[in-house]
Chain A
Amino acid sequence: MTAHLPTTETARDLIEGFAFPFPTDQYRYSTNVEPARTPVVTPTGQWGDAVVDVDSEYRHELAERERILAADPSRYAVLDHMRPACWDTMITLMRELALARPDTMSLEALGGGAFVWTNRLLDVEQRFTLADESTLPMEPLRYIATQVQEDLVLLDQRDDDLWGDAGVVTFAADWSFGFDVGMNFLEIHGPVPRLRQTGVITRAREFIMRLQPGQVYRRTNWTLTIGRRLDVSTELYPEWGPDRPMIQTVDDETFGRLVHLRTEVQHLLRLPESGGVLFLSRTYLLPFADLATVEPWRARTAAVLADLPEDMADYKGVISYRDRAVAWLEARAPS
């Protein structure tokens, strides 16, 4: 088996900060965007007050990202014309990090385009000059990816469309960033069933194209992942694909520890100087074993999974073990 059984209990803050993705008992695709920066209170705690989120997995996930990038450089790409947008992204995210973690992070303007970035969680003090790449250890988008847990995609807006022309994506849920670079918004979403027919994705495109500097929106997306595995990219499908038949063979206790509800909290914001759009995707994983201890979450997840139409369940890759997942959750209903 390739999925690693977690040896330790799930950290408290991962349960308290989990972004539970289901507003109702039925899940269908919609243009589910809402203004960001407002906390969502949940039965265990809350999430969503910051645009970037730093939790107890911070160092671990950043190390994981470095390992993935070293093994496969195609997870990072910047088309040439996106260089100004990368600077914009870096400055924007440094400001957001400083807002989210004022105790340990700060961005100080020294005047004349010079700044100093401080991140005491990583022991970093970096001076740099805007638009001068030689003042950073690496290109700015790549650099900021060493400071945030979020995956990053930059969209260029031109020709009445949005183009995925730069990004660092190490924690993809069954898609390939390297393959998708340079596609437009509808092409990127081409593989997803229902999105075009229902108008969900054309509306999303119109919405993003009108997004203005200073506005920040967010949405959630979800799937199931076997094992605490962040990188379920299509590139590594031969590695994680066998987990899906495997999971049907394990005992109930192992099933609950291995199957995770995976939420992506995605933020969208307009970069002021370059006019680009920044798409942030932060992945949260919660084992079913923990999910089931929160009764509203257990019941709702069971209902959503049971109701999920075939095409969506197939696209999300959960079709082969969805019934077992529903049965597992239902068996844990309070008597």
Chain B
Amino acid sequence: MSDRIRLVVTAIDDDVPGIRTLTLAAADGRVLPDFTPGSHVVLECDGPANAYSLTGDGTMPTTYSVSVLEVPAGAGGSRWVHGLAVGDPVIALPPRSMFAPILQGSRHVLVAGGIGITPILSHLRSAVRWGREVELLYAYRDGRGAHLDEVKELAGDRARFFTDRTSFAESLAATLADQPIGAHLYTCGPAGFMDAVVETATALGWPPSRIHLEHFGVEALDPGEPFQAVLADGRVLDVPSGVSLLEALEGAGLDVPQLCRQGVCGECRVTVRSGVPLHRDLFLSAEAKAANDSLMCCVSRAEGDRLEIDL
């Protein structure tokens, strides 16, 4: 799977209650991979992997910055981040971009709710660098606003801040009602917040092509759960999280046809004898997937903890 990046925590900022900002640098001190504004990284922790938006500059970066909300009742990711100390090692998957600024946009309306400011901040940064017309509405709970100073410095009077719902909703509606053709809307925040933004925009006639959301979908190629593959000769292979079935088979000395290793070319199809595959490819048709009698071993995994295959 994707090459992992070894990082270390170089700074921690806990100034805003409940929000921790981590600065991470490459363990070997080198320049980190470039990223597109709006990108996120997946940080590996004990529990399921979590995606966090990169808030910094994406061109030849020497550090990555992420800000993480503490969710006491939530899954392990946020608690894990809040337990880190300077100097701790962190493993990241390379940045992924699914929320990029639209090049064709003549104006960019950014709408952030709470911790959703994080990908919006990198949009703002790139808009300022390229001289794009930009406007920001940022809603947060009083005393819980992350990156306020940075936003003010970058955006000046192009940013407006809200700590009560009513004035935010009114300003949002007024702003979205009065945008020239060519404007694009970007929003990130809690699901309910984004739903409300989209609803307001849609009611004002905004077409889907001008509305962009950051869902933090980690999508097909997250490391996945570990499982065991049983081969035709009875051998049992461990397929740990982060290792594909194809890699495990190759590791065991099997010569499996393959090309793309991305689930699109159709070369690596393997017959399933028992167990239920977790299909993550683009190659098999819906019917072929439903039949559950084969899988593309470069990306797909097991629904349970065991899969018997015809190899």
Contacts and interface: CB of A to CB of B under 8 A. Distances in A.
Interface of A: 30-35, 81-82, 84-85, 131, 156-159, 199, 203-204, 206-207, 210, 212-214, 217, 270, 272-276
A139 to B, nearest CB: 16
A275 B104 contact: no
A31 B266 contact: yes
Contact of A33 (B39, B96, B208, B260): B260
A213 B97 contact: yes
B59 interface: yes
B94 A272 contact: no
A272 B59 contact: yes
Contacts of A206: 264, 282
A158 B104 contact: yes
Nearest to B221: A210
Contact of A213 (B35, B103, B104, B285): B35
Contacts of B94: 212-214
20 contacts: A34-B265, A35-B260, A81-B104, A84-B103, A84-B130, A158-B102, A158-B103, A203-B283, A204-B264, A212-B94, A212-B97, A213-B33, A213-B35, A213-B36, A213-B95, A213-B97, A272-B33, A272-B35, A275-B100, A275-B101
Nearest to A156: B103
A274 to B, nearest CB: 6
B282 to A, nearest CB: 5
Contacts of B34: 213-214, 272-273
A272 B104 contact: no
Contacts of A217: 260, 262
B209 A34 contact: no
Interface in B245-262: 259-262
Contacts of B33: 213-214, 272
Contacts of B209: 158-159
Query: Closest 9 interchain pairs by CB?
Result: A272-B34, A275-B100, A159-B209, A81-B104, A81-B103, A275-B36, A207-B264, A31-B264, A34-B259
A207 B282 contact: yes
Contacts of A199: 285
A30 B103 contact: no
| Residue among B208, B261, B282 with max Cβ neighbours from chain A (10 Å) | B282
B77 interface: no
B56 interface: no
B102 A273 contact: no
Given A158-B209, A272-B59, A212 B96 contact: yes
B58 interface: yes
A32 B265 contact: yes
B103 A274 contact: yes
